[in-house]
Chain A
Amino acid sequence: MASTAEKTTPFADTTVVDTDVHLSIPFDELAEYCDEPYRSITKYPTYTPVHRGGWNRYMGGKIETEKQNVQTADALYEKICVEFGIDYPLINAFPVLNSVPEDDRAVELMYAYNDYLLDNFLDEYDQFLGLCTVATQEPETAAEEIDRMATEKSIEGLYLLNSGAQPPLGDPVYDVIYQAAEENGLHVAYHASAGAPFAKDFPVQDTQFNRFLENHMLAHPWAHMMTMSSLIVNGTPAKFPDLNFSFLEAGVSWVPYMMFRFNKEYSMRRSEAPLLEKSPEEYIRDQFYISTQPIGEPNDPNHLQQIIDVMGTDSLMLSTDYPHWDFDHPDALDQQVRQFGDEEARERILSGTAIEAFELSI
């Protein structure tokens, strides 16, 4: 499919997939997609229907929220496709379901987020692609929802919030979710979150830190490290060899550390991960994909390139995380790739790897 947006950006001649675009759905609108009693709870919450913690995310207003730019399909198209030059945004509803205290309400919100995403965004533009929200609290129910959503052409994968998912996501209790994903040919994307979901996994750290900078520094890599450890040790990628997984929003640099440490630990303690048939590094390179935002900012750009070279472009996919306060403008990564890489590397990171990872038919 050819790009339909008229692009004036550096991406005019390049296909670009953004693997992490969030919605910001007003809760009163989401409530209309819920049955009672959940509709009323979502519409008239005590404080907020989905707790995010009280941290100072926007630096007392120094950072402006741009959430209004993703509240309608037209606004999102204008910002992401026209202004940023993204051809295919992979849109998630940004469900923070692990901080919903009632499991049954989390499940109801899963349905609501999915229907809202389809009705208001994915049905509006052909190039809008989507991730199915998964509430991990009830894995069997989630598997049924995956079967339902997989019939939608625009759904390319699953969105699992890993922060606050208990037990960790390699636990066999979730195998029904991975089985449903594999049977339906859907990619599994993990996304972390600071604030309340982080507090669920790391309550001591959340209460002991005194600044959001400390919390946010660790929330995403810690969640991903937990998930990656759990998946590898439980042998999830070995159990589901046709499944691809991705880790969104922790950047790239944490992955080489995990790969190399995992190889070392695995060789000392192989009998604790007996399902593995090859090294952890091979599973990570073969089945795990990494989204680039927030791309690291070493003082010497050569050092970022060394990390990219270790990972290889076959694992890396562009993401912006728009409209969140720490989003990356797509040009930031593109400038790095243009400076150090060739056109083939650029094509892989901007779209080729995502097309492979999500098996996009574009």
Chain B
Amino acid sequence: MSGTAERHVVADADEIDNGERIVTQIKGREITVFRYDGDYYAYLNWCAHQGGPCGEGTLTGTSIASYDRETGEVDSYWGREGEILNCPWHGWEYDLTTGDCLSRTGVTLPSYPVEIEDGEIVVTL
């Protein structure tokens, strides 16, 4: 058992700019805390594929496509700029806002609650 969840001050809230991140160690786990569009997200820095440092990968957009069965046309565009986390080892894509892997149903990065208290980023783990 990992014991009781504790609160960990990671940094001052203004230490991370929008679209930036910090990598920190909590209870022996490497965790990446992101700030994006006013929200904070904390994920384990361990790709579900082969354990690559996914939390250190680029934040980009990705290709999104849909097929209209009525017209037979494909609508394809580059979107979600800044919201897609890419593992630097093999390019596995994760949705920064949910931790969900874009290519594997049911695969989600472990996440941890993040709150801002008195101007500090607090991760509960």
Interface residues of A (CB under 8 A from B): 59-64, 325-329, 331-332
Contacts and interface: CB of A to CB of B under 8 A. Distances in A.
Query: Chain B interface secondary structure, helix, strand, loop or mixed?
Result: loop
Given A325-B90, A326-B90, A62 B60 contact: yes
Nearest to B60: A62
A63 B90 contact: yes
The bracket for how many chain B residues form the interface is: 10 to 19
Residue in A64, A331, A332 with the greatest tally of chain B CB atoms within 10 Å: A64
B45 interface: no
Given A61-B60, A325-B91, A329-B89, 17 more contacts: A59-B86, A60-B60, A62-B57, A62-B58, A62-B88, A63-B88, A63-B89, A63-B90, A64-B88, A64-B89, A325-B90, A326-B90, A327-B90, A329-B50, A329-B52, A331-B50, A331-B51
Contacts of A329: 50-52, 89
A325 B89 CA distance: 7
A62 B90 CA distance: 8
State the 6 A-B residue pairs at the shortest beta-carbon distance, nearest first.
Answer: A62-B86, A64-B88, A329-B50, A63-B91, A332-B50, A62-B91
Contacts of B93: 62
B50 A61 contact: no
B87 to A, nearest CB: 8
Nearest to A61: B58
8 contacts: A59-B86, A61-B58, A62-B60, A63-B86, A326-B90, A328-B50, A329-B51, A331-B50
Contacts of A326: 90
A325 B92 CA distance: 12
B30 to A, nearest CB: 15
A68 to B, nearest CB: 13
A155 to B, nearest CB: 30
Residue in A61, A326, A332 with the greatest tally of chain B CB atoms within 10 Å: A61
A329 B90 CA distance: 10
Nearest to A63: B91
A12 B52 CA distance: 20
A67 to B, nearest CB: 13
A331 B91 CA distance: 18
Interface string B54-65: 000110100000
A63 B86 CA distance: 7
Interface string B32-73: 000000000000000000111000011010000000000000
A336 B64 CA distance: 33
Contacts of B57: 62, 64
Nearest to A333: B50
Nearest to B91: A63
Contacts of B52: 329
Interface in B78-125: 86, 88-91, 93
